[in-house]
Structure formats: C-alpha cells, structure tokens
C-alpha cells in the first residue's frame, strides 16, 4: 500500500490527516508542507501583536498517530498515471489517494508588486515587527485582512490609511449595514478611510490613487483578496475555474485525486463556490477524509466566516446576497443580526456584528436552521424576544 | 478541602443554557441541562481562552462562541477540533434554590 498523501499542511491538510485516523484509516499517511514551521493557525496573524505562532497540533501529536510530516518541502509535479508526486528535492512519493490542499496566496494587482502582503507567519512577523507608534501604514483593500490589520496597527499606535476601490468596506462579504458599523468604528479610532478610490500604484513608501493623490507612508500592505493555488492540479489534468473543480465529495476529475479547502471550487446549493475560510477548511477536511476512504456522502455544511476588529466581532453564515433584503434583529448594545431567506422562505444566510461574542449564539443557531432547511417566520426572526433556539426546535 | 461557593440561584440559568460566574480571580461556567441538572466547568475555552459564556448549549454540549470547539460540559471532554484539551469540571450541588460549586 502506497498510502495517503496530502499536499499542503495548512488548516485543511492537517485536519484531513487527523480526520483520516479518526475515521479508522491505519495505512501510511504523509503530509507535505512547504513552510519550515510546524503547521500553525493563520487567523491570529492579522489580529494580534506580538505575532503568536499557534500550532494546529503539537509536534508529537503527528508522530503519535503515524502522520509523516514533511516540512519545508515543495511538490514539483503530480503524475496521476504512475500515482506519485515528485518532490522539490527530486524524491518521488507514491500514493493510493492524493489530497490537494494547497490553499491560496495573496493576490496582487499590476502596479502593487512592491506592496507587502500578509499570509504566512513570516509575513506577519516582518510586517507587524516593523510597525511602531511612529509608523504611517497604508493598507490597500478594505476587506477582512486589511481591516483586522488596521485595528491591530492602531493598537500599536500607528497612523493608518485604508484605500478601498468599492464605495464601502467588505463589499464581497457582508451587508452594507454591517460595513457601516465597522467603518464608523475605524473612523472613531482615527483610521483614514478612503472609499471608492482606485489605487494605480503601490510603492514601498507611497500609494498613488486614480484621482492623482499620492499618500506618502512608511509601509504599504495590500489585502486585495487571494488566488487559489491550482498549478499542480491543473498540470495533473484537473478542471480549474476559480479553484480546482471538485464534486460533492471533493473529488477532482483525476482518478484518486481530491482537493479541498481554499484551493477548491465545490458545489453549494446549485452553484460552484470557492471560500477563503478557516472553518470551511476544517469542515472540508473532515468530509474529504471520509470521501478518500470511499464515503460518497454529499457535503452540506454552510460557509461560515468571522472577523475581529477592535472589540467588535462579526460573523457570517450561508451565502449572502448583499443586494437583497434582510430581516433585522436588534441585540441591544448596538449589536444586530441580519437574516436572509430564499425564494422558498427558507433561511439562506445570516450576518451579525456586535461587541465580543454577542452575535455568536444566534449565528450558530441560524447555521443549524440553514442546514436543516428551516423556513422560520421572518417576523419572529426579527423579534428579539423570540428565542431562536425555540424557533429551531419548533 | 472542598469549599462550596454559592454561584447563583437555580432560576438564574435558563434550561439548556449557561451563565458566567467569577470568584476569587477565576472564572467559571455554570450550566443547566435540558433535564434540569446543574454542572460547572472552567469558564475559558482551552483553545484560545475565549469565555464560553456567549456559546450555545445543545443537550450536554457547550460550543465555544469563537471557533466552535465543543465540550461535553458534564465531563469536560473536548469533542471536536479545534479543541483538544479537556475543560476542568467542578462538583455542583443545589440547596435551597441556590447552586453551589465545589472548589478545592
């Protein structure tokens, strides 16, 4: 038996390795990571200083259950005919089943090549280590990473400017009402938000805007999305369309080759979606591990995201259509949840923002309702005196 | 010697829910199960020290509000990633309508 091989030792690859053992797989299991570090959690990197490297699992935990972890090793090529992978150091490694969990890399638009990006712990150490109370940091992109970084940099006393091409923050991910709360909070903190303005060039110490303005600063970071790492899969014959195309059990069209996590585009409620999500990476991992062992059950978990900015936390579950109406539930203390139902009245998505963990319980209940196909009365969703748990159980 | 500390009134916790209780520099979570039993654990999740107070209780499981780590609050057992370290639990007794937790 050649065993299982996993390319990518991020959240998805690591969880898949553990999930294979939890599902009873006893054969050979190799996990290949291109970073030299013990696999670590990425979400804290933009959220806290000093930069903490939080291992996903202790080093001995891999050895204890027989996961062979290759660190600092790249993969050059997959040979699906011979069923092996060629490593960067010219070794070949045979597989019975292969999981591609190569994640995504920071996107840079033309003209932004000199900007810093934040993806790895080394990126975070270099970037946050350079920020002091005297620093003027310019951030290109008003999405989750840019805004979390803005909040962290303000905590270090830096002057922060954020430039966003859309006319509001987090346009891809959250409803306008939630973006407005975040924008107000950043402005109260002294962050200079420049919305609806294109960046034509990002230099090491300045950002040039389409209207001719030049922002002079000490550091420039781009947080303008991520690009899935699909090269290996594409060369091996997998279909690619904004990610490695997989079916309901994370199978690519290449026999014995699976893909999961940020690198894959998977079917969700009639469309193909690609997520950049820590939770989805885990959910995919748990599912694909069973699929690699022959289980053909369809994946049915809903997308789930969160972001922390200052004392605010926002959470989103399901696929939002930000231009469609919401049912709003007030939580007190300024927190609120927006629910969205589909054309059949079934709950499709929910997004909330509030202090600390104010929205967590209701978003979790919304997630359970979405996955059960519940069609709750919109008036009850909007009525804070109605316990959502009762709605779920009702 | 176990010290019994009065944490709250039995009616202060809704069924299948929890509340936070702070005592002597430590923080705890006190649970009321769907079958009207009471339990107590450490208040902070073993993953990133987030308070479990805002988390969802379903049956005998508490789920961390931040990253969805799950524990059986009767035993403290860590049930699902990202948590892998169990929660410490404390004995509980109900007397005269009050919930007491036992702390060594």
Q: DSSP secondary structure string, A219-252?
A: EEEE---EEE--HHHHHTT--BSSSEE--TTSB-
pLDDT for the residue numbered A362: 95
Distance from CA of B65 to the nearest CA of A (A): 5
Tokens of A368: 């359970």
C-alpha triplet A178, A48, A150: angle, nearest 5°: 50
Mean pLDDT over residues B99-103, rounded?
Answer: 96
- Residues of chain B contacting residue A356, judged by C-beta atoms under 8 Å apart: 54
Residue B80 confidence (pLDDT) above 90:
no
The overall average pLDDT reported for chain A is 96
ipTM: 0.89
Mutate to test the interface with B, among A54, A360, A389, A391 (most CBs of B within 10 A): A360
Distance from CA of A217 to the nearest CA of B (A): 34
**Sign of the alpha-carbon torsion through B66, B67, B73, B75:** negative
pLDDT for the residue numbered A393: 84
Confidence class for position B104, pLDDT limits 50, 70, 90: confident
CA distance linking residue A181 with residue A87, whole number of Å: 48
Residue ranges and CATH numbers for the domains of chain B are 3-103 (2.102.10.10)
pLDDT for the residue numbered A323: 85
Distance from CA of A282 to the nearest CA of B (A): 8
Could B68 and A306 be called an inter-chain contact, meaning their C-beta atoms sit closer than 8 Å?
no
Q: Which of B54, B56, B81 sits opposite A365 (nearest CB)?
A: B56
CA distance linking residue A158 with residue B32, whole number of Å: 46
Residue A394 confidence (pLDDT) above 80:
no
Mutate to test the interface with A, among B44, B67, B80 (most CBs of A within 10 A): B67
Give the residue with greater pLDDT, A324 vs A350. A350
Percent of chain B exceeding pLDDT 90 equals 90
**Per-residue pLDDT tens digits for A88-138:** 999 999 999 999 999 999 999 999 999 999 999 999 999 999 999 999 999
Could B55 and A279 be called an inter-chain contact, meaning their C-beta atoms sit closer than 8 Å?
no
Based on DSSP, count helices (H) and strands (E) in chain A, helices before strands: 10, 25
Residue B86 confidence (pLDDT) above 80:
yes
Could A361 and B16 be called an inter-chain contact, meaning their C-beta atoms sit closer than 8 Å?
no
Q: CB-based contact (8 Å) between B74 and chain A? A: no
Exposed, middle or buried: residue B92 (CB in 10 Å: 0-12, 13-18, 19+)? Answer: middle
- Between chain A and chain B, the number of residue pairs with CB atoms below 8 A apart is 40
Residue B1 confidence (pLDDT) above 90:
no
Could B81 and A18 be called an inter-chain contact, meaning their C-beta atoms sit closer than 8 Å?
yes
Residue A188 confidence (pLDDT) above 80:
yes
**Which of helix, strand or coil describes residue A133?**
coil
Look-up: residue for tokens 């709605």? A391
Q: Which of B16, B56, B81 sits opposite A364 (nearest CB)?
A: B56
Q: Which of A18, A278, A361 sits opposite B56 (nearest CB)?
A: A361
Give the residue with greater pLDDT, A30 vs A390. A30
Mutate to test the interface with B, among A12, A335, A352, A364 (most CBs of B within 10 A): A364
**Residues contacting residue B88 through CB under 8 Å, at least 6 positions apart:** B41, B42, B76
pLDDT for the residue numbered B61: 97
pLDDT for the residue numbered A99: 98
Could A361 and B82 be called an inter-chain contact, meaning their C-beta atoms sit closer than 8 Å?
no
Confidence class for position A83, pLDDT limits 50, 70, 90: very high
A83: left (phi over 0), alpha (psi -120 to 50) or beta: left
**Taking an 8 Å Cβ-Cβ cutoff, which residues of chain A contact chain B?**
15, 18, 41, 44, 54, 56-57, 61, 278-279, 282, 306, 313, 356-358, 360-361, 364-365, 389
Q: Give the residue from chain A lying closest to B18, CA to CA.
A: A361
């Amino acid at each position: 038996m050649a065993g299982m091989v996993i390319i990518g030792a991020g959240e998805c690859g690591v969880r898949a390795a553990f999930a294979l053992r939890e599902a009873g797989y006893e054969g050979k299991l190799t996990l290949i990571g291109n970073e030299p570090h013990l696999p670590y959690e990425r979400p804290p990197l933009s959220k806290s200083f000093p930069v903490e490297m939080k291992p996903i699992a202790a080093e001995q935990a891999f050895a204890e259950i027989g996961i062979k972890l290759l660190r600092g090793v790249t993969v050059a090529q997959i040979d699906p005919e011979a069923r092996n992978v060629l490593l960067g150091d010219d070794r070949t490694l045979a597989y019975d089943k292969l999981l591609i969990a190569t994640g995504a890399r920071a996107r840079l638009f033309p003209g932004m090549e000199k900007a810093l990006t934040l993806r790895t712990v080394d990126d975070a150490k270099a970037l946050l280590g350079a920020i002091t109370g005297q620093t003027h940091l310019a951030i290109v992109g008003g999405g989750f990473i840019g805004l979390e970084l803005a909040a962290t940099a303000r905590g270090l006393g830096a002057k922060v400017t954020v430039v966003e091409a859309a006319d509001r923050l987090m346009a891809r991910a959250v409803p306008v009402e939630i973006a407005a709360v975040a924008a107000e909070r950043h402005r109260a903190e002294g962050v200079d938000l420049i919305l609806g303005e294109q960046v034509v060039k990002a230099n090491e110490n300045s950002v040039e805007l389409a209207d001719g303005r030049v922002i002079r600063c000490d550091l420039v970071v781009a947080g303008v999305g991520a690009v899935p790492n699909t090269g290996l899969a594409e060369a091996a014959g997998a279909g690619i369309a904004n990610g490695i195309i997989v079916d309901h059990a994370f199978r690519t069209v290449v026999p014995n080759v699976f893909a999961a996590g940020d690198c894959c585009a998977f079917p969700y409620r009639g469309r193909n979606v690609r997520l950049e999500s820590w939770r989805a990476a885990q959910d995919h991992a748990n599912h694909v591990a069973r699929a690699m062992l022959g289980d053909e059950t369809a994946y049915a978990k809903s997308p789930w995201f969160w972001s922390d900015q200052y004392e605010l936390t926002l959470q989103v579950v399901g696929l939002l259509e930000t231009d469609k109406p919401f049912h709003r539930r007030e939580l007190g203390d300024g927190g609120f949840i927006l629910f969205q139902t589909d054309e059949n009245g079934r709950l499709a998505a929910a997004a909330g923002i509030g202090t600390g963990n104010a929205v967590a319980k209701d978003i979790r209940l919304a997630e359970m309702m979405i996955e059960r196909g519940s069609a709750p009365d919109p008036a009850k969703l909007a009525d804070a005196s109605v316990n959502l748990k009762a709605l779920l159980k009702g | 010697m176990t010290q019994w500390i009065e944490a709250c009134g039995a009616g202060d916790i809704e069924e299948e829910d929890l509340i936070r209780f702070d005592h002597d520099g430590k923080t705890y979570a006190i649970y009321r199960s769907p079958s009207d039993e009471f339990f107590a654990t450490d208040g902070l999740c073993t993953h990133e020290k987030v308070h479990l107070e805002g988390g969802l209780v379903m049956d005998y499981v508490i789920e961390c509000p931040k990253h969805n780590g799950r524990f059986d609050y009767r035993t403290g057992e860590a049930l699902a990633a990202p948590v892998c370290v169990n929660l410490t639990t404390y004995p509980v007794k109900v007397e005269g309508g009050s919930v007491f937790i036992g702390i060594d």
